[in-house]
Amino acid sequence: MQCPKCSKQARRSENATCTECGYAFGLDPREPHGLTDLDLLKLAHQASSGGRHHFTQNLLYVCYCMERVPMKALWPVAAVLGGVLGYQLMGSRAAVMGAAAAAGLVYHGTKSWRPPPPSVLDDVYDQMSAAGHRLPRFISRPLFEFRDEDKYVDHLPRAIDVDNVIVVDRNGLVDWLVLNDLPRSLNALVISQSGYPNYVLPIAIDLLNLRKSIGIYLLHDSTQSSLAMRKQLADSGLLPTAGHRMFNLGIEPDQVTYMKHLDPIQPSRTRFRIPLDSIPFPILERALYTSIKRAVPLLTGFAAAGWVGREG
């Protein structure tokens, strides 16, 4: 396999190092994930938009499935090759039969293919870490690192610039969005419905009490309905919502049905319930910007970002 360090096709020695340069391999492609170190680094490069954005295992899994899903577009190619081979061997009638058989086999393969479970990638980061390697921009697990106020301040818009408060349903989504600098790009405070980070919550409360023009936006996985989140937020009394515009951005299962780029993970198998961070950050950021600034549904924002089309 190809070594990420010396780029040579090198054998893996008994102690899992490159026989050419001594690079310590973290992954064994004989395991169910089938990945080499170089494969994983390429997936990470894709998930991070070329090293520009932080990402989680949920998006890494989408990229992983993208690389493994059979290409439906190959069946016409198979038909041509099967026809040519049949003609060479047995004449025109065999050419037709060969084309049909080859196309049918390939097409059936694409229709019957099922993605591996997301758990197939559960250990790859730990295995790479044990070998002394990092995945740049990868959030291996919820960091909750913004409990340290100094770390959030670098991403916080000035109070006078805050136009929106975005409430998410998971603490881990706060880390993902803030690490990617969403608060400054959208002039928003980002908090979870549990009140994390706790030192940002009083800022949000003060600004909401002071300025009724600030909108409150609910953003969540498609595993939780907007009505439930809205009710939970109202019942908790976490924020002073009276007099403020409140919008449910989603994502909702019916929105996921239009996200063609998620086809490789076959979201219909989970009734279109997916984590929000399965979506590349640049796509989500653009969709949110369009939705908030133009006061249109988030699906319209996804359309503007080129992320719309029926599954299948």
Share of the chain above pLDDT 70, in %: 79
Beta-sheet pairing, 215-219 with 246-250: parallel
* pTM of the complete model: 0.82
- 251: helix, coil or strand? coil
Tell me which of 47-56, 62-71, 144-153, 183-192 is least confident: 144-153
Give the tens place of pLDDT for each residue, 190-214. 999 999 888 899 999 999 999 999 9
Tokens of 49: 């938009």
| pLDDT exceeds 70 at position 71 | no
| pLDDT exceeds 60 at position 102 | no
Tokens of 78: 């198979």
pLDDT of residue 103: 43
Tokens of 160: 């006078």
How many CB atoms neighbour CB 59 within 10 A?
A: 25
Taking the CA atoms of 275, 278, 279 and 285 in sequence, report the sign of the dihedral they define: positive
Q: Residue 17 has what DSSP assignment?
A: B
The candidate with the shortest Cα–Cα distance to 216, out of 205, 228, 227, is 205
Give the tens place of pLDDT for each residue, 18-55. 888 889 999 999 899 999 999 999 999 999 999 999 99
